Each structure stands twice: as C-alpha cells, then as structure tokens.
Amino acid sequence: MPLSISNFERGVPNQPWLKILVVALIMPVLMVMLLEYTLVKKGFQATVLDSAALWIEQRVRASTLGNRALILVGASRIQLGLDLSVLRDGLALEPVQLAVDGSSFFSVLEGLARDPSFRGTVIVDYADHVIQQGLVKDYAAGLQRAYEKRDKTAGGLAARAENILESIVRHHLRSYADGARPMTSLFERALRDGSTQQYLVTFPDRTRNADYTKVSMPDFYYSRVFRHSGLKPSLNEPVTTTQIDRFLYEAISQFGPADNRSFLENLTLLKVWVERIRQRGGDVIFLRMPVSGFVQMIDNQRYPRADFFDQVTSLTGAASIHFADFPEMGDFHCPDGSHLDYRDKKPFTKALVQELKRILQAKYFHENREYVGT
Amino acid sequence: MQFNSLTFLTFFVIVLVLYQWLPTWNAQKRLLLVASYIFYAAWNPPFVLLLLLSTLVDWHLARHILASQILSRRRILLTLSLLCNLGILGVFKYGNFLLDQFISVAHLIGLSYQPPQWDIILPVGISFYTFQSLSYTLDVYRGNIRRSASLLDFSVFISFFPQLVAGPIVRANHFLPQLESPKRIEVSSLGLGLALLIFGLFQKVVLADAIFAPIVNLVYAQPKVFDTFSVWAAVLAFSGQIFYDFSGYSLCAIGVALCLGFHIPDNFRSPYAANSFSDFWRRWHISLSSWLRDYLYISLGGNRNSVFRTYCNLMITMLIGGFWHGASWMFVLWGGLHGAYLCFEKWGARFQTRIRLPLLGQMFVVFLITTLTWIPFRASDLSSVMMIMERLFVFTNDYQSLDENELFLCLAAIGGTLVWHYSQRDFVFEERLIAWNWDRIAFMLGASMIASFLASGGDEHAFIYFQF
C-alpha cells in the first residue's frame, strides 16, 4: 500500500457549532448595517462597478449591433457629457459607451477598425494631447487586449451569473459605491469627518453623472486647472481667488504652441482606421467636447485650433464637430473646467443630436441609403 | 466557479438543500455528480467532455485490469490508461509549449519552420483530475484496490466539485469507501466545514489578494524600478501570497466537502515551519508531493538502488513536479532547484556533524531559500529572475519605494505567518479548535467575515493554482 494511503477521518471538534455560527454571523451583519447607515446619512448612493467585465460586455455588444451601433470612445468628457437615451431616441441608433476615464481612444478605435464584425458609427471624444501621443499602453489598451484575448466560452455561465449577482449586491450596498472597497468606504468615507461627498455615479450602461454641487468649489476647479496645466501652485500663504486667477492667467499666457508633427503623423494612422470602418459601412466622427475657463485657455494656447483640430477632417476624411462652432453647444459651462455637470447632459446631447443627424443624413444620402433616424 | 464568488455561495446553498432533501443515497450521489459537472461546465461547458472521457476510459480500463490475471495484458491496459491521461494532459497543457520549443530548435539548426499557432485553451484543473484518475488505475494495477467501483461512485470520485479544479488530489482508497455509506448533513460537520470555508476565504480574500498580491504584482511587473528593500518585501510577499492562495483554496475545499459529510486530507501543515527541504515537502502541497513520491519516485526505484540512482530519481521527480505546474522552463527551474536541495540534504545527512543550527535557525534557512526559490516560479522569464536577484543582493536605495503602510502590513503579515506556523508546527487546525472556547471561535469567524467583506470588491483574482 502506498505510504500516504490510510483510513482517513477528520476529527470534528465537539463544539456548540450552531451557536458559534449564529453569533459569528451577527457580527458582520451588524457591521454592514452600521456602515451602510453611516453612508446613507452622508449622502452616498449605490453604483455599479465600471469593471473590465462590464467594458468587455459593452464591447461585445458593439460588434453584434451591426450598422445600428453608435459607439462612444474616448475618456471622461464623453462618459460624463453624453446621454445615451437622448442619442438613442434622436438618432434611432443603439449607443454603446466604451469611453474609459483618463485613457486614450487609440487602442479601442484601432480594435474597432480591425474587427470585421463591427459596422457601426464611432463618435470619438477628441483630445489634442491624445492624438499627439498616439498609441499608448494605458488602461483602455489593456481592456482592448482583454477583450481580444477573452475566451469566448470561458467563464460563460459563471461569469454571467456572477455579474448578475454582483450587480444586485452593488445596486443595494453603498459600501461599494464608485468601485470602492468597503475598507475604503469605512475609513475614507464613514469615519472621516469632512470627507469628499460622492459626486460621481456610474450606471449599468457605463455612463456617468457628475454632480459638481457636491464638491468644494473653487478648490476643485483650481486643482483640475493646475493638474491640466502641469503648473505647481507656488503660493504658500492663503490667497484670494483673484490672486490665483491672475497667477494662472499670467502663467498660461506664456504657454507656447506644441509641435504638431507627431499629431499630424498620428492623423495618418487614424485615417487608415477611419477608412477601414467606412469600407464596412460604418463611420467615424470626431467630437470636441466643451471645456471652459482656464482649461480652455490652456488648450487654446498649447494646441491652436488651426494647427490641430482643423487638420482632423482634411487628413482623416472623418467629420468633426467642435462645440465652439455651435452656439447651442458652446454655451455650456464646465464647473471643473473640463466636464459637464449632469444637469447639462441632456440639453447638450440634444444639441449634439441635431448636428449628428445632419452628418449622418448627408452620409446616407451620399451612399443612396435611407437613414431611419430622419 | 470560484469559492470566493457569489455564484458559488448560491450554488452551494442550493446543493446543500437538495442534498439534504433527497431521500436515497443513490439520488444524493447522482446530485453530487450533476452538481460537479455543472460546477465544471460553469467555466467552459465543452471541457466537461474531457472529464467524462478521462472518467470512462479509466473506469473501463481499471475493470479490465482487475478482471485479468495475465500480467502482460494488465501492463498493456495500464499503458493505455497512462497514454490516454498523459496524452490529454500533453496536448492541452503542453501542446503550445512543445510546438514553440520545436520551432526554436528548428530555427537553431537553420530550418525555417513556422506552423500555425494551435491556440489551445488550457482546461482548468486538468492536472489535478488527471492525476487523481491515474492514481486509480495505478492502484488497481498494483493490487491496492481489489474491487471495482461502480461507474457512479467512480464518476463522483473524479469530479467531486470541492476539490475538482485545484485539489487536494484525493486517492481512491480515501474517497471511494466514503461513498459506500449514506450520509446526511450533521450540524457538527456542517459547523466545522463552514468554519474552514470562512477561514479559507479569509486567507484568499484578505491575506493573499488584499495584502500580498498588490505588492507582488507591482514589483514583479517592473523590478528594475524598485529599491532593494521593496524587492525583498515583494519576494517575501509572494511566499505569503502563494501559501495563502493555495492553502485558502484547500481549506475551502476541505470545508465544503465536510459540509457534505466527506473527509478530505490536509494539503498543508505549516510549511514555513519546515526545518529541512524533505520536511518542507511533507508539509507543502502534501497531496501532490505524496502522489509524486508514491507513483513516480517509488516507481523509478526510489532509494532502493545506488546512491547516484537515488539522486537521479529525486531530480527526475522534482523536475516533473515542477513541469506539472505549467508549460514553462521557469517551473522546471523551480522544480530542479528543489530537487537539488533534496539531493544536497540527502548527501549532507551522510556526514554526522556536531554543529547543528537550533530549530529556529534551521527553519529560517529553509524559509529563506524556499522564498528565494519562489522567484522563478513567479517571474515571467529568466531575465526578470536575474533582475530581481541583482536588486536583492546589490544594495540600492536610489529607486522607487513601496508605500510605507502597505509595506508594514505585508511584513507584519509575513512575520505573523511565521509565528503562526511555528506555533502550529506539530498540530493540525482542528486540535486548536478543540482547545478554544466557543466564543473565541465565534469571534474569530465573525472577524474573518468582517475582514473578508472589507477587503472584497477589488479586482478579480483567480486562485493561482487554477492555472495548473
């Protein structure tokens, strides 16, 4: 007989197991209830997790919708600024949100261009610096790789069941709000006095709402401007907003335009992808989302429109929309300089739909096809 | 389906209720079989066919081996079983790797050969159930099993969901007798089973995933940007991560099986308290090391021949053991290093020396070498191994450091682990539970659940041993 084989029976300790389990269970239940109560009192609400699984699920949809697909790629501006129901009703297309906070659209657009089953329309959240830097290995690129490498059957049943169960839990528990771990919710939100309120809410379709009345202004705005500009606040003593405004104005005025050579080279890359998508009956539209205040000033200084945005249509052949060209889109104010508040989401999308309709009608007319959204 | 998922908890509750509700033992066993196949199919439905194939082939071959009195025929039947099981394992686990090696060798001798990539998916847990199934035909051939199991019992033995995808690898002699007597859920077994499940989940979710994994992932991704102290911390953290990840899974598996009334042997016994490498392998992944010892090392002749032959047998066993973990030269290197330590230890034992380190010193040396030997196990390639080794032994503090809080937590957890293993060295976990008061056990369980909840919700981390 092999050495390890012998009669085996695990000794079960003689303990009052039922009592142990009941008492043990009461502890986490009480703890969760207390944490949830505190978070409710502090105004937090439950949200879905903008996870890789959710992104991949939406990416799969993008390839199955045929020419009804309206894909949004880019970063937080388009994720916070466009209302999918308004797009759906206004354009009779099925919008899919693939924008990834803080990421480049390059990998995702390239993936769509390479995907033979994708035949839809892509709205690209245009950002000068993103085109300037070209293909990068960022989080969005990782998501695209994960989508391509996904085993089409692996985890099928289990992953779907887990997604459903997890979304039920996240739908009810504030401890997981905005993708936080309960540990973070406990120490950073529940126990800390004066913690930042929850101003972002993520929805199951991956859209997000930003409520800027919940953040401390103008500190929040200035921190965004400093981050966007790369400037370091060098004022040590308490200062007035007028002093900060003057400091920023003077510093940003000194910004020179960026060299647009790599930008123009990358546009030729984009042109190839645009053509591939068009060959399958799809289309690509570049959209410059609204910016305000010093963020707009920084972009104007660094990326003069004539050298950057205005080159997009001529060098890629894709249509482009700049918010400043349309009074109904240009009047929106971004509270943090870079993103729309959720109250402006619907009106901005409605204004955008008018221009998108015009572009799509022209395209369908050109291709002798009937556009159902008219 | 992972133990640390809501899907599994739901699935397990449904199975428990049905298991208790069904009137006959046969019906309960059928339920276990269906549940096990659902558990496996939840990951990738087509691969249940492989499980089924392995089961049917080995069951039939074992029956014929039992029925035959002719040695040559028995040998042929055993060879068929080995070919079938190892063939499946070879194609699905090592197919891509072997093709890559073939292409590399062809290139080396100047042949330009570029076949299309096979793109084979590795079926989860294939190494575990293949070894489990093989042990049955080997035991039948050796005469350790003299009675054929029914197809239902054998199928449940191979596919039993608590230990199907990552062990412990259970032997037929342990498990099949348990299928002969009817079982009902008992409060004491359910209580201990759930307690083990909760402690196992705590090990996985809190210790492996929340404390150790972030440090390991960060540093191993780019070792060259971190300073010496941070790299040491990451190397130590991986010792913690791999232990708690796998030990956590094993504890969950043992607990889930116990809830259903089945007893599965331990897979770990305080391995970081080992005072020699042979002691380490009696404490680490016990079900695999004992399998390799019983079916490979002893079959090769064990230590029954010359000393040189014994060393060769040890090296072959450990190299195959390393390769079992995955189709990569890094695993072979890891296995080879452990083989070399065992040979060295055996060689050293021939000399009686008066100078011996105290037990704590021996433990420390074994832990340190084991920890350093985990580097090729975790690193992606040899250049990363060399980079990490350089960072470990060429002191530098000009580079990036880890977050102080994370570092403190990680080192405290490693220190705690060593103390715990030392104190547990000669005990099994249940003996501790007997000694504790009920309120202490309840508090520990409650605290484990709270900690698991607080640490939950991060990135998904599959159990490391799923890939093997």
Size of interface A-B (CB pairs under 8 A): 158
The pLDDT value given to residue A321: 95
Q: Which of B10, B263, B438 sits opposite A10 (nearest CB)?
A: B263
CA distance B290 to chain A (A): 6
Closest alpha carbon within chain B to A176: B457
Burial class (CB in 10 A: 0-12, 13-18, 19+), B309: middle
Question: Quick check: A155 pLDDT over 90?
Answer: no
- Interface check for A8 against chain B (CB to CB < 8 A): the answer is yes
Q: Please report residues of A whose CB lies closer than 8 A to that of B187.
A: 17-18
The pLDDT value given to residue A372: 56
Q: Which of A2, A27, A53 sits opposite B450 (nearest CB)?
A: A27
CA distance B293 to chain A (A): 9
CB–CB of B442 and A23 under 8 A? Answer: yes
Question: Quick check: A236 pLDDT over 70?
Answer: no
A30 is a domain residue:
no
Separation in Å, CA B152 to CA A42, A293, B26, B77, B166 = 57, 73, 9, 21, 22
H helical segments located in B205-272: 213-221, 228-259
Q: Which of the residues B64, B263, B285, B325 is marked catalytic?
A: B325
CA distance A37 to chain B (A): 16
The pLDDT value given to residue B465: 57
CA distance A281 to chain B (A): 31
Q: Which of B1, B295, B430 sits opposite A10 (nearest CB)?
A: B430
- Interface check for A32 against chain B (CB to CB < 8 A): the answer is yes
Over range A49-58, report the average pLDDT.
85
Residue identified by tokens 């504890």 is: B251
Interface of A with B in 246-285 (CB under 8 A): none
Over range A257-279, report the average pLDDT.
93
CA distance A160 to chain B (A): 9
CB–CB of A2 and B447 under 8 A? Answer: no
Question: Quick check: B464 pLDDT over 60?
Answer: no
Question: Quick check: B100 pLDDT over 90?
Answer: no
Q: With CA atoms as reference, report the closest residue to B421 among B274, B224, B202.
A: B274
Over range B376-391, report the average pLDDT.
90
Mutate to test the interface with B, among A9, A10, A34, A152 (most CBs of B within 10 A): A10
For B85, the token pair is 């099981």
The pLDDT value given to residue A128: 93
The pLDDT value given to residue A277: 94
CA distance A119 to chain B (A): 27
Average pLDDT, chain A: 87
- Interface check for A191 against chain B (CB to CB < 8 A): the answer is no
DSSP secondary structure letter of residue B168? P
Q: How confident is the model at residue B466 (pLDDT cuts 50, 70, 90)?
A: low
Q: Which of A2, A21, A161 sits opposite B294 (nearest CB)?
A: A2
CB–CB of A12 and B192 under 8 A? Answer: yes
A71 strand-pairing partners:
A96, A122
- Pairing between strand A69-73 and A94-97? parallel
Predicted confidence (pLDDT) per residue in B361-381, tens digit? 999 999 999 999 999 999 888
Over range B327-342, report the average pLDDT.
93
Q: Which of B5, B263, B454 sits opposite A8 (nearest CB)?
A: B263
CB–CB of A13 and B457 under 8 A? Answer: no
The pLDDT value given to residue B10: 94
Question: Quick check: A31 pLDDT over 60?
Answer: yes
Regarding an ipTM greater than 0.90, the answer is no
Residue with the bigger pLDDT between A38 and B96: it is A38
Question: Quick check: B252 pLDDT over 60?
Answer: yes
Predicted confidence (pLDDT) per residue in B157-204, tens digit? 999 999 998 879 999 988 999 999 898 888 989 999 999 999 999 999
Question: Quick check: A50 pLDDT over 90?
Answer: no
Question: Quick check: B400 pLDDT over 50?
Answer: yes
Question: Quick check: A282 pLDDT over 50?
Answer: yes
Q: Please report residues of A whose CB lies closer than 8 A to that of B42.
A: 155-158, 161
A36 is a domain residue:
no
Active site residue B107: no
Above pLDDT 90, what percent of chain A?
55
Give the C-alpha separation, B421 to B431, whole Å.
Answer: 14
> Which residues lie closer than 8 Å to B432 by C-beta, 6 or more apart?
B424
Q: Please report residues of A whose CB lies closer than 8 A to that of B198.
A: 24
A148 is a domain residue:
yes
Interface of A with B in 134-173 (CB under 8 A): 151, 153-158, 161-162, 165-166, 169
The pLDDT value given to residue A3: 35
For B225, the token pair is 């940007």
Q: Which has the minimum average pLDDT: A85-99, A174-188, A224-238, B51-65?
A: A224-238
> Which residues lie closer than 8 Å to B264 by C-beta, 6 or more apart?
A10, B162, B163, B168, B170, B174, B175, B253, B254, B257, B258
Above pLDDT 70, what percent of chain A?
92
The pLDDT value given to residue A11: 72
CB–CB of A20 and B453 under 8 A? Answer: no
- The count of structural domains within chain A is 1
Q: Which of A11, A18, A158 sits opposite B7 (nearest CB)?
A: A158
The pLDDT value given to residue A373: 55
DSSP secondary structure letter of residue B203? I
Give the C-alpha separation, B167 to B238, whole Å.
Answer: 21
A171 is a domain residue:
yes
The pLDDT value given to residue A238: 64
> Per mean pLDDT, which of A157-166, A338-347, B351-360 is the most reliable?
A338-347
CB–CB of A153 and B445 under 8 A? Answer: no
The pLDDT value given to residue B460: 54
The pLDDT value given to residue A152: 57
The pLDDT value given to residue A151: 62
Average pLDDT, chain B: 89
Q: How confident is the model at residue A8 (pLDDT cuts 50, 70, 90)?
A: low
Q: Please report residues of A whose CB lies closer than 8 A to that of B2.
A: 158
Question: Quick check: A360 pLDDT over 60?
Answer: yes
The pLDDT value given to residue A296: 94
Report the SS3 class of residue B400: strand
A32 is a domain residue:
no
CA distance A186 to chain B (A): 8
Over range B271-296, report the average pLDDT.
93
Q: Which of B6, B171, B434 sits opposite A5 (nearest CB)?
A: B171
Per the structure, the complete domain to which residue A195 belongs is given by 43-369
Question: Quick check: A123 pLDDT over 60?
Answer: yes
Residue with the bigger pLDDT between B357 and B467: it is B357
User: Which CATH number is A298's domain given?
Assistant: 3.40.50.1110
Q: Please report residues of B whose CB lies closer than 8 A to that of A153.
A: 44-46
Over range A285-300, report the average pLDDT.
95
CB–CB of A27 and B447 under 8 A? Answer: yes
A136 is a domain residue:
yes
Q: Please report residues of A whose CB lies closer than 8 A to that of B164.
A: none
Q: Do the Cβ atoms of B135 and B176 come closer than 8 Å?
A: no
CB–CB of A154 and B43 under 8 A? Answer: yes
The pLDDT value given to residue A6: 40
Q: Do the Cβ atoms of A46 and A176 come closer than 8 Å?
A: yes
Mutate to test the interface with B, among A6, A12, A49 (most CBs of B within 10 A): A12
A362 is a domain residue:
yes
Q: How confident is the model at residue B468 (pLDDT cuts 50, 70, 90)?
A: low
CB–CB of B441 and A49 under 8 A? Answer: no
Burial class (CB in 10 A: 0-12, 13-18, 19+), B150: middle
Predicted confidence (pLDDT) per residue in A169-188, tens digit? 888 899 988 778 899 889 88
Over range B453-459, report the average pLDDT.
82
The pLDDT value given to residue A2: 36
Q: Please report residues of B whose CB lies closer than 8 A to that of A25.
A: 446, 449
CB–CB of B449 and A157 under 8 A? Answer: no
H helical segments located in B222-328: 228-259, 277-283, 286-292, 307-324
Question: Quick check: A5 pLDDT over 60?
Answer: no
Question: Quick check: B353 pLDDT over 80?
Answer: no
